């Protein structure tokens, strides 16, 4: 089989990031129909799933006297402290039931090490521990990643930047993402992505140009 060079990477479309969820992203649920319209254009889909132990170092409740959304210095760097979210095997960690991409082959679970967070689907926050995704994508012949999901300024941006660093072409589909936007994080994320050569497109453009399956 000729390798398929384009992969649709769907990031963290999980209940805890939906309105009413533990770490709700405003309008997070609106990405689901957009992603469902895009998915049929891709023959190869990969999903990510934030997947933390309850004792995870990124949870404010695991640090006495700390509140969610504060910063904390950890051995690997500055970490945002989050509300408890996406705990392994809980409802909040499940992928949205309306998300439809039956051709998805791989789910990368990330943030599973107790003492290291992982926004990126490629490298954990210590910036040295790989998830294995780069190796997988290289082995199947992937060259370009089209990224959608939650949240634009955290897991989507970190994943896009690491994908560029790993040598992949990267296109982020803006209206198929929603952001947390904490202290200017969204603006900074787009700036970092632009500098790294990440393309920013809208789903309509993808659907217009990609009538054939990628
Ligand atoms: C995310 C914060 C903490 C994300 C995950 O999916 O963007 N953000 N964990
Ligand atoms: Zn998380």
pTM for the full predicted model: 0.96
The C-alpha atoms of residue 104 and residue 117 are separated, in whole angstroms, by 24
What confidence category does residue 3 fall into, taking pLDDT thresholds of 50, 70 and 90? confident
Domains in the chain with CATH codes: 6-53+83-209 (3.40.50.850)
**Model pLDDT for residues 61-105, shown as the tens digit of each residue:** 999 999 999 999 999 999 999 999 999 999 999 999 999 999 999
Residues sharing a CB contact under 8 Å with residue 18, sequence separation 6 or more, in sequence order: 24, 25, 28, 29, 96
Share of the chain above pLDDT 90, in %: 95
**Residue from 82, 105, 109 nearest 95 by CA:** 109
Which ligand number lies closest to the CA of residue 153? 1
- Count of other CB atoms within 10 angstroms of residue 174: 18
Task: Please give the pLDDT value at position 213.
Answer: 58
pLDDT > 60? residue 126: yes
If you take atom 6 of ligand 1, which residue's CA is the nearest one?
Answer: 155
What is the 75 CA–ligand 1 centroid distance (Å)? 19
**Pocket of ligand 1, beta carbon within 6 A:** 12, 50, 82, 119, 150-151, 154-155
A 10 A CB-CB count for 76 gives 16
Note the pLDDT tens digit of each residue in 167-191.
Answer: 999 999 999 999 999 999 999 999 9
Catalytic machinery residues: 12, 110, 155
Determine contact, residues 159/121, Cβ cutoff 8 Å: yes
DSSP H or E run through 147: strand 144-150
């Amino acid at each position: 089989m000729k390798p398929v060079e384009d992969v649709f990477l769907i990031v963290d479309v999980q209940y805890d990031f939906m309105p009413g969820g533990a770490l709700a992203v405003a309008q997070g649920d609106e990405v689901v129909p957009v992603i469902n319209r895009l998915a049929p254009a891709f023959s190869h889909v990969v999903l990510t799933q934030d997947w933390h132990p309850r004792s995870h170092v990124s949870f404010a409740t695991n640090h006495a006297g700390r509140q969610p959304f504060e910063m904390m210095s950890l051995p690997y760097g500055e970490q945002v402290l989050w509300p408890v979210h996406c705990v392994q095997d809980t409802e909040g960690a499940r992928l949205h039931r309306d998300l439809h991409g039956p051709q998805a082959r791989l789910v990368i679970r990330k943030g599973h090490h107790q003492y290291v967070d992982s926004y990126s689907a490629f490298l954990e926050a210590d910036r040295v521990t790989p998830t294995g995704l780069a190796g997988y994508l290289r082995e199947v012949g992937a060259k370009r990643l089209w990224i959608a999901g939650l949240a634009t300024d955290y897991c989507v941006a970190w994943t896009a930047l690491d994908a560029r660093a790993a040598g992949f072409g990267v296109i982020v589909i803006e209206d198929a993402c929603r952001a947390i936007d904490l202290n200017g994080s969204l603006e900074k994320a787009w700036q970092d992505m632009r500098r790294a050569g990440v393309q920013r497109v809208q789903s309509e453009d993808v659907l217009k140009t990609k009538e054939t399956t990628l």
